[in-house]
Amino acid sequence: MSIQEISIGFSNGKFDEVYEFIAENAVWIVVGETTFTGKKAIVDNCSQVADYFKTVTTIFETDDVISEANKVVVKGTAEFLRNQKRLSFVSACDVYEFNEMGQIQKITSYCISTKNRI
């Protein structure tokens, strides 16, 4: 997988497909919320998120992908529905930094809950 494909997969909740591309000492910063340090902490959180995804209908849309050297930026939205009713709508931007082995070294996520697409 390319670093762009890995980034898009993670941003779109396809965690199982990208776990192998996360460095052991990776860091995931969810700005204004929390920081996950180390692959295990990141995978554990992703597992909880994946469990939530099983209880809702999730619509991911990727608006932009920008790549330069070892960095990838993915901008998009996620809509969460249950029984055809919107639970939440999130506009997000994830910034990925990869190490020399093509593994995710750092993720910085900016997530904003909005009523509609902005």
Give the DSSP letter string of 41-101: HHHHHHHHHHHHHTTSEEEEEEEEEEEETTEEEEEEEEEEEETTEEEEEEEEEEEEEE-TT
What are the pLDDT digits (tens) for 66-98? 999 999 999 999 999 999 888 889 999 999 999
Instruction: Supply the pLDDT for residue 84.
Output: 87
Asked whether residue 98 is domain-assigned, the answer is yes
What are the pLDDT digits (tens) for 8-22? 999 999 999 999 999
Asked whether residue 118 is domain-assigned, the answer is no
Asked whether residue 13 is domain-assigned, the answer is yes
**Mean pLDDT of the 100-109 span:** 97
CATH number at residue 47: 3.10.450.50
pTM across the whole model: 0.92
**Mean pLDDT of the 98-111 span:** 97
Domain count, the chain: 1
Q: Which domain holds residue 47?
A: 3-113
Per cent of the chain over pLDDT 70 is 97
